[in-house]
Structure 1
Amino acid sequence: MITYDQIFEKNRQWVANNQASNANFLEHLAADQKPDYLYIGCSDSRVTAEELMGVAPGEVFVHRNIANMVINIDLNAMSVIEYAVAHLGVKHIVVCGHYGCGGVKAAMQAKDLGIMNPWLRNIRDVYRLHHTELDKIEDTTLRYDRLVELNVQEQCVNVIKTAVLQQMYLKNGYPTVHGWVFDLKTGLLKDLKLDFEHILHDIQEIYNLSDQPMYAEGNSPAQEIGQLAKTDAQR
C-alpha cells in the first residue's frame, strides 16, 4: 500500500513520464476540457474510469457514488449531468456498474446501515421491480450479478428521464445513454447493449420534459432533427 508521502513522488513521476512522451502534455492538460463522454460509476476504489476505459486526462467527465446511482433529488448527480450535457456537450453518457458491488450487496441485507439506508433503498426498489426474474436465480452470486446489471439499466432510465438529456437529444441527436458493467475478475467491460431509442420512446409519454415529442412515430432521430432544422429555416 502506498504511503502518504509516496503519493507526491508518484505525482512527480507521473508528470515527468507524460512530458517525456508528450512535450505538450501540460499545455493540453491546462486547456479547456472537451470530453465526449460522461461516466457515472461506483466509488469503489478498484473501478477507476480513466484506467478501465484507457483514456487520457480530458477525455471523460466523471461522477462517482456508491453503486453508481442516478437519483433525481441528488443535486450532485443532477448538476453533473446538467453541466456535462448542456455545457460540455458530451455525446455519450455511460452508467457503469461492477460485479461484486458492495453497495448492491449491502442494499439486500436485513440490516440497519444508518444514513446509508435511504440511499440503498433505491437499489431495493430495483429489486422490487425485477423480483420475479431475480427470485428465480438460486445462486446468490449470480443473483447479485444480475441485480448489478438491472441496477445499471434502471439508472440509465433515470438519466433518460432528465429534461436536459431529452432537450439536447431533440436538438442535436445526442447524447446517447449506455449501460456497462466492469468485471473485476477479468478486467473487461461488458456493454449491456441497452436499446436507448426504445427506452426513450417507452418512457416518453410519462417522463417527457421537452417542449415537443422526441421524434414523431416512425421517424429516426436524424430525420426528425432535419425536419426541425428545415422548419426553423422557414420561419
Structure 2
Amino acid sequence: MDFEKLLSNNRAWAQLRVDEDPDFFNRLAGLQSPEFLWIGCSDSRVPANQITDTQPGEIFVHRNIANLVVHTDVNLAAVLDYAVNILKVKHVIVCGHYGCGGVRAAMTRTDYKAILNKWLRNIKDVYRIYQEELDAIEGEEARADRLVELNVREQVMNLAKMSTIQRVWKNENRVHLHGWAYGLKNGYINPILHLPPNTPIDPLYEYEDL
C-alpha cells in the first residue's frame, strides 16, 4: 500500500466520523480521560482499540516489541507515570499475543545484533526462570504460546515492582494490573493474571515510606 493511500483513507475516515457525529472531533480535542493504560506489542496485527472495540480516547497506549516492562526503560516509565498520576487511569493492561515474533526470536540462539539482542534478553530471562516447565512442553508452537503467557505474567509483576504503582496502591488504593494474551487465530483475549491494588509481592521489591 502506497503512503498516499493512507492519507486518502484518513480523509475518508475523518469525513465519515463527522457525518455520523458532527461533534466527534470537538469532544476528542477536549481533555482525555481514559480508564486504561495498554502496554502492548508493536505487532501491527494487535491494535488495542480494534480488538477491544473501544473508541479513540478510551485507552492510553504504549507499545514495544513483545510488550515488555523493563525497569530501565525511561520511555515506558514516563508513559506509566503520566497515565497513573496525571490521567488517573484505573487499570494497566499488559497484553501479549500468541504467535509473537519477539518471543519466538528469544527462544533461538540467533544473533540479532546489539540492540535486538539486548531487548530480547529480557524474554530469555523469563525462559530461564521457567525453563523446566517450558522444556517439558512438546512442540515449538505450544512452547512459544506458553512463553507468551509467562512473559505477560512477568511483565505484570515488573509493574508491581515499580514505585509508581506501589505509591498509588498505598496512597489511593487505585490501579488494577492485568495480564492478557490475544489470539491472532481467533480474535479472543485470554486473561492470564489480575493484581488488584496492594497485592503482596516479594518484600525485597516493596518500597518503604512511599
Classify the TM-score, shorter chain: over 0.9
TM normalised by structure 1 equals 0.86
Which structure has the highest helix share of the two? Answer: 1
Taking the TM superposition and a 5 Å limit, the aligned residue runs for 1:45-64 are 45-64=44-63
Report the counterpart of residue 68 of structure 1 in structure 2.
67
Structure 2: tracts of 5 or more residues without a match? none
Structure 2: distance between partners of 1:75 and 1:133: 32
Taking the TM superposition and a 5 Å limit, the aligned residue runs for 1:171-210 are 171-192=171-192, 194-197=193-196, 200-203=199-202, 205-210=203-208
Deviations 1:71-128 (A, max 9, x none): 0001111111111111110000000000000000111111111121111011000001
Deviation at 1:200, TM superposition (A): 3.0
Taking the TM superposition and a 5 Å limit, the aligned residue runs for 1:93-104 are 93-104=92-103
Deviation at 1:202, TM superposition (A): 2.7
Q: Percent identity?
A: 44
Report the counterpart of residue 158 of structure 1 in structure 2.
158
Structure 1 consecutive aligned stretches of length 4 or more whose deviation exceeds 6 Å: none
Report the counterpart of residue 36 of structure 1 in structure 2.
35
Structure 2: distance between partners of 1:198 and 1:151: 21
- Report the structure number with the largest CA radius of gyration: 1
**Matched residue count:** 209
SS at match of 2:201: helix
Q: Is the 8 A contact 2:176 2:194 kept in 1?
A: no
Deviations 1:158-177 (A, max 9, x none): 11111111111222221010
Deviation at 1:197, TM superposition (A): 4.5
Deviations 1:197-232 (A, max 9, x none): 5993132x11112526xxxxxxxxxxxxxxxxxxxx
Structure 2: distance between partners of 1:179 and 1:102: 18
Does residue 110 of structure 2 align to residue 111 of structure 1? Answer: yes
Structure 2: distance between partners of 1:8 and 1:122: 37
Q: Check 1:22–1:210 CA distance in 2 against 1; reply closer, same or farther (3 A cut).
A: farther
Structure 1: distance between partners of 2:29 and 2:177: 28
Structure 1: tracts of 5 or more residues without a match? 213-235
Taking the TM superposition and a 5 Å limit, the aligned residue runs for 1:124-139 are 124-139=124-139
SS at match of 1:201: coil
Deviation at 1:16, TM superposition (A): 1.1
Report the counterpart of residue 145 of structure 2 in structure 1.
145
Structure 2: distance between partners of 1:198 and 1:168: 8
SS at match of 1:61: strand
Deviations 1:104-158 (A, max 9, x none): 0111111111121111011000001111111110111100000000000000001
